[in-house]
Amino acid sequence: MNNRKIVITIDGYSSSGKSTLAKAISKKLQYNYVDSGAMYRSVTLFAIRKKVFNSDLWNVQNFTSLLKEINLKFKWNKKYNRTDIFLNKENIQSKIRSEKVATKVSLIAQLPEVRKKLTLIQRNIGKNRGIVIDGRDAGNYVFPKSELKIFMKGSIEIRTYRRYQDLKKRGYEVSYEEVKKNLIYRDIMDTSRNISPLKKPVDSIEIDNTFLSIEEQLNFIFQLINKRKK
């Protein structure tokens, strides 16, 4: 495989399997993996802890003045063979997966100041290329010149099932219907927000993985990568 380092963006709907692919690709290529959803979730956890959602809108708007207190870092976790996210030196990798965070994250993700801060961090990690990033606006906005843009989708049932299984495995008490409702809500919020909405980049390759195994998806993507790296 040619050694030219490229930027690979993987955008798509919630629980469409973006991170599974992004992790596998980054491991194989030894690239940095950026889970941008984890960053939005981390800011949301911070906001919940600051009780931003306990009263009215005023609080959410004023939340932006607290953004400077947030320091986010990704670090490799040898024990679990994965990248963990740290908020002000605290490992919050597991805490950001809760449904509480999932129900509030869309509100935080629509704040321009939050997007600006997280976009800067993402571009900085990717400044020397050699990065796989998954999210909603990675191909359209954060890295518009990336060499490979993937756009993921899958039926709402398969996405709900995957997320439900994942949450159960982690020990969260949730119902299938609750998970489905949250995914539908986030799809609507992600695609309809004014700033950096989720939208298939025109120059992206679409993968609908409703009926595709992970191996099939990876085989297909590595063929694309090999062409792009030449």
> Which residues here bind ligand DC, judged by CB under 6 A?
14, 36-37, 40-41, 105-106, 109, 135-138, 186, 190
- Closest to ligand DC by CB, 161 or 229: 161
Residue nearest to ligand DC (CB): 37
Map tokens 């409703």 to a residue. 210
Q: Indicate the residue among 84 and 229 with the shorter CB distance to ligand DC.
A: 84
In sequence order, what are the beta bridge partners of 150?
10, 205
Q: Cβ 123 to ligand DC, closest distance in Å?
A: 12
Could you tell me the smallest distance in angstroms from the CB atom of residue 13 to ligand DC? 9
| Bridging pattern class, strands 131-135 and 148-153 | unpaired
- Which residue number, 187 or 225, has a Cβ lying nearer to ligand DC? 187
Q: What is the DSSP letter of 64?
A: G
Question: Which is closer to ligand DC, CB of 63 or CB of 219?
Answer: 63
- Give the tokens for residue 106: 């869309």
For residue 146, the minimal CB distance to ligand DC (Å) is: 13
Write down the H helix ranges in the chain.
18-29, 36-49, 57-62, 99-109, 112-125, 156-169, 176-192, 214-228
Contacts with 185 (C-beta within 8 Å, 6 or more apart), sequence order: 103, 106
Q: How far is the CB of 43 from ligand DC (least distance, A)?
A: 9
